[in-house]
Structure 1
Amino acid sequence: MTIKYTKDHEWVRQEADAALVTVGITVHAQDALGDVVFVDLPEVGKKFAQGEVAGVVESVKAAADVFMPVSGEIIEVNEDLRADPSLANSAPMDGGWFFKVRVSEPAQLEPLLDETAYEKFSADN
């Protein structure tokens, strides 16, 4: 399973079925936000274009949009995260995932950042 990152601080994990990805916010994002108190997740079945706002994460410090890293259809949302938004802080790369997407344009995954490039981008911004 390959993990890539966006400049909007989302991570994208390609699953065994290459047409499926899981999306969440990065450790850097949750550190910047502070304690997450609410998440607004998209509806299952809704289709988004790359770059569209697919959800919102609110913390004690701020609210931030969660952008769709690739075009596709939402096939599952993390109901555990909806019930316990603090999972975005305690397990951002595991149990704190936001949604799963059936990718409609797989080529959009290619330009996303690998871990090294994302770490450099995060350090510089």
Structure 2
Amino acid sequence: MSKLVTIGEAADITGLSAKMIRHYEVNGLVPKAVRSEAQYRLYNSQQLKLLGVIKQAKRLGFSLSQIRALSNLWQNPNRASSEVKSLAEEHLQEIDAKISELKQMKKSLQEMADNCNDDEHSHCSILDGLDHV
């Protein structure tokens, strides 16, 4: 794709909203779009590919700062793959920590639910479990 596309077309192509595309541009994740005579943003194929990379990185749960780093690395032909792998491994560790935390949350909530009498009485073991300061 060598032609320039408007932000609306870029949104259709990438599956991102125009608002998110503007957000990524304002935050420096995507180079500023050129403007038409009517001041419409126009995006080239490289920017569309980069938006796709950003969308996928966001889907994988990378933070905005990590996405910025990945975006910079993606645009740098002289990058070292070890830098990219390091970012990915750091994120994997964060995911593992979140999984561990979620498992503990599930276990605690399951214990509270298992201890619930599930009747018409006002006593509630779940609320009691939440009431620990």
Query: Which one has a larger percent strand, Structure 1 or Structure 2?
Result: 1
Greater length-normalized contact order (CA 8 Å, ≥ 6 residues apart): 1
Structure with greater proportional helix content: 2
TM-score band (shorter)?
under 0.3
